[in-house]
Structures are given as structure tokens and as C-alpha cells.
């Protein structure tokens, strides 16, 4: 009997990651507690939580989970977690399971955090929104480009992924850095894609340069500056900026069929991407934005308003955050991300104090459907059955 018991335990220990990943981990915590930037929210009733959780769980199972979801999912209101789900592996080779403390690559949701660091520096008087980037880096070729234009994607700059792809500008055998991007812009006569501040044009170059601005002002590396300005004050204990030398130690990126996606010469750039975090940590960040002590009312207004109204429509962009502005007066603030196999979505309903987060390290566009859960909390024009 003893030998049989040992054999059974051994088999259980070596159970495949695929089998484990189908067993969804639901954390027991239902509230994120913060010491800093504390905000008093109304306590949700047990019946409210039960009712919402039932619907969200069904939504996740039918709209997000493809029976093989690899990532993190969380929905909270008033800081209370209504539902969360963790499954899959952060590394399918080593069989490391994803749980509530597993940092995943945020892809372009990283821009939300980079913008927060910049705004904290503005709050402290170390940067100004309408300060030119050239005032920090005299070699930068465009005199009128401001910090605000980099934040709201109105700089007119071209994407570094395109101009660095030309061999006359960069040798792809070498890993590109943020400083290299600035050097190329300063020496290679890279033309603007659009006239400065005349049009919204989403561009990762903007946030790669903002990371350099953070380093210049703080006199720290971007990973250290982010810890000091954002992660540590908000107790985001599982959030960090990737050091490319540690690339094999972090959550890996996969195609939909779980084939690992190779790292390439653009993987050393940070600010626009390369921040790793968890839903719990992102919730802490979102909750802090409701505090009167976080930023200032004026800066929050600047962050959350739209800057690009050249074309009619509901979509716009603030300072590090997208938005949909509907005819009924409701506004959704959100940001999506996609880098290699990592697809991510962060939604915050400021009026309704709701946070919706979906992160995946295995390519799926289904995470982007999470924004439609907004309709569960107010009159947002999404069809939850679609």
C-alpha cells in the first residue's frame, strides 16, 4: 500500500501543465487593501457581489476562455473583487503555473504606467506638460515637440520599429535601446509622418522617448525610476520593468498553439512596453487615481480628457489612456496591448468605480472583449451577448 501511495503521489506531481491549466485558480481575497492614497468606497452588498459574479463568471467562460486560456482576469468595483481567474503557464517549458502573483507582459498597457510616472514628475514640478523634449535632449531634431504631444500621440513621429528596420539606420543583429532610438532620430534625418500636433497617430516611439525623459529628470534608470515613482508608493510588489538580460526569467510569450515566440532586436525598448504586472497591482494603481492625494485634480483632468477631435467618432486619447466617449455622456477609459504573443486589456470606468483587466501570454484577441463588460455596470452601448 505504501508503494502504491508513493507512485500515485509521484504521478500527480508530474501531471502536465495543460491538465493543470484547465483547473482555474480563484483567489480567496475579495478586496485590495491600500495604505497609501486610500479612498473610502461604499461597501458592496453580498447580494450585489453574488449577482455580478455569476454573470461575470459566465461571461469569462463563454467570451474570454477558449478552454485553454493562459493568463489573468479580474473585475472589481469599489476596490472589491467581484471575480478573478488565473490559468495556464507563464513558461510552458518549465511548467510554471500562472497565479495571482505572476507578472505578465503588459505590452502597450505599459504606456498607462509610464504616463503615471511622467505625471508624477509634472506634479512635483520636475517636468512640465508643455516643456519641449528638445529642452531635455538638445540633439533631438524637432523643436516644437512637447511632453504632452508624446503622451497623447500628437508628435507626428514615425514608429521606431519601421525606421530601425532599415539597415542604413540600424544593424538588426544588435538589440536596439531607447538611447539608440534618440541617436537615430538625431543623426539619420528621419522624417515626420505628420505635422506636429495636427493629428493623432499612435506611435510607440513617443513612449520610448518619454522613458528617456524620466531617466534624465530622475537621474535613475527607467526601471529604478518606475519603482520610486509608481511601484513602491502603490505597493505594486509584483510589477517591474524588464531588464533584457533577465528575459529567460520572466513570463514567456506564445502563439495560440503554445509555440514560444522568439525574442528579437526590439525587445530591449521600454516605456511603450516591457512592464510586467498583475491584475492586483493594476487594481492598486487604478484605485489610487480616485484619491485626492494622487496627482492633482487639474492633472487628472488633463490625463482623462480627449485631445484629438479632427475626426468625428467616439474614440479619443488622453495622456496615456484611450477613451470611448458616447453620445449619452458616458465615457470608458481603457488601453489595450499586443506584443508578440502577449495580448492585454485594461479598462477603468471612472464614474462607476469599476476596473476590468484581462492579460494573456498566449495570443488571443478575446481579451479585448472584456471591455464589453462595462454594460453590466451602466448604460454603455455594448451587447454582452455578442
Per this entry, what is the length of the chain?
Answer: 386
**Does residue 230 contact residue 282 with C-beta atoms inside 8 Å?**
no
Residue 66: band (very low, low, confident or very high) from pLDDT cuts 50, 70, 90: confident
Residue whose entry in the numeric block shows the C-alpha cell 513570463:
251
Given a cut of 60, whether residue 140 has pLDDT beyond it is yes
Residue 21: band (very low, low, confident or very high) from pLDDT cuts 50, 70, 90: very low
Given a cut of 60, whether residue 189 has pLDDT beyond it is yes
Domain ranges in the chain?
A: 24-376
Rounded to whole angstroms, how far apart are CA atoms 98 and 110? Answer: 20
Identify the CATH homologous superfamily for domain 24-376: DD-peptidase/beta-lactamase superfamily (3.40.710.10)
Residue 194: band (very low, low, confident or very high) from pLDDT cuts 50, 70, 90: very high
**What is 163-185 written as a DSSP string?**
HTTSTTT--TTS---HHHHHHHH
**Does residue 85 contact residue 26 with C-beta atoms inside 8 Å?**
yes
Task: Specify which residues 286 forms β-bridges with.
Answer: none
Residue 71: band (very low, low, confident or very high) from pLDDT cuts 50, 70, 90: very high
> pTM score, two decimals?
0.92
Amino acid at each position: 500500500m505504501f508503494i502504491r501511495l508513493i507512485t500515485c503521489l509521484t504521478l500527480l506531481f508530474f501531471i502536465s501543465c495543460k491538465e493543470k491549466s484547465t483547473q482555474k485558480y480563484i483567489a480567496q481575497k475579495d478586496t485590495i487593501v491600500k495604505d497609501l492614497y486610500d479612498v473610502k468606497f461604499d461597501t458592496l452588498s453580498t447580494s450585489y457581489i453574488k449577482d455580478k459574479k455569476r454573470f461575470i463568471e459566465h461571461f469569462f467562460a463563454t467570451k474570454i476562455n477558449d478552454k485553454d486560456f493562459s493568463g489573468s482576469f479580474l473585475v472589481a468595483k469599489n476596490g472589491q473583487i467581484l471575480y478573478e481567474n488565473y490559468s495556464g503557464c507563464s513558461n510552458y517549458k518549465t511548467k510554471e503555473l500562472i497565479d495571482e502573483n505572476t507578472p505578465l507582459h503588459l505590452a502597450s498597457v505599459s504606456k498607462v504606467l509610464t504616463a503615471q510616472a511622467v505625471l508624477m514628475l509634472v506634479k512635483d514640478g520636475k517636468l512640465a506638460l508643455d516643456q519641449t523634449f528638445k529642452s531635455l535632449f538638445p540633439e533631438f531634431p524637432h523643436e516644437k515637440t512637447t511632453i504632452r504631444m508624446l503622451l497623447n500621440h500628437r508628435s507626428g513621429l514615425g514608429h521606431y520599429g519601421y525606421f530601425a528596420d532599415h539597415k542604413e539606420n540600424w544593424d538588426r543583429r544588435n538589440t536596439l535601446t531607447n538611447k539608440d532610438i534618440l541617436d537615430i532620430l538625431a543623426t539619420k534625418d528621419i522624417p515626420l509622418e505628420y505635422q506636429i500636433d495636427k493629428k493623432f497617430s499612435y506611435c510607440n516611439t513617443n513612449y520610448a522617448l518619454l522613458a528617456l525623459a524620466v531617466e534624465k529628470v530622475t537621474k535613475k534608470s527607467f526601471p529604478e525610476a518606475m519603482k520610486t515613482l509608481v511601484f513602491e508608493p502603490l505597493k505594486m510588489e509584483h510589477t517591474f520593468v524588464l531588464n533584457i538580460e533577465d528575459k529567460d526569467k520572466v513570463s514567456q510569450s506564445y502563439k495560440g498553439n503554445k509555440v514560444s515566440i522568439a525574442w528579437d532586436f526590439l525587445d530591449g525598448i521600454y516605456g511603450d512596453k516591457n512592464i510586467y504586472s498583475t491584475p492586483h497591482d493594476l487594481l492598486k494603481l487604478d484605485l489610487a487615481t480616485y484619491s485626492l492625494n494622487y496627482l492633482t485634480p487639474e492633472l487628472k483632468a488633463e490625463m482623462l480628457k480627449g485631445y484629438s477631435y479632427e475626426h468625428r467618432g467616439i474614440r479619443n486619447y488622453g495622456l496615456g489612456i484611450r477613451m470611448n466617449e458616447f453620445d449619452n455622456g458616458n465615457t470608458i477609459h481603457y488601453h489595450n496591448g499586443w506584443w508578440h504573443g502577449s495580448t492585454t486589456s485594461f479598462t477603468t470606468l471612472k464614474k462607476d468605480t469599476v476596473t476590468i483587466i484581462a492579460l494573456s501570454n498566449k495570443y488571443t484577441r478575446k481579451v479585448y472583449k472584456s471591455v464589453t463588460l462595462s454594460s453590466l455596470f451602466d448604460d454603455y452601448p455594448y451587447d454582452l451577448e455578442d
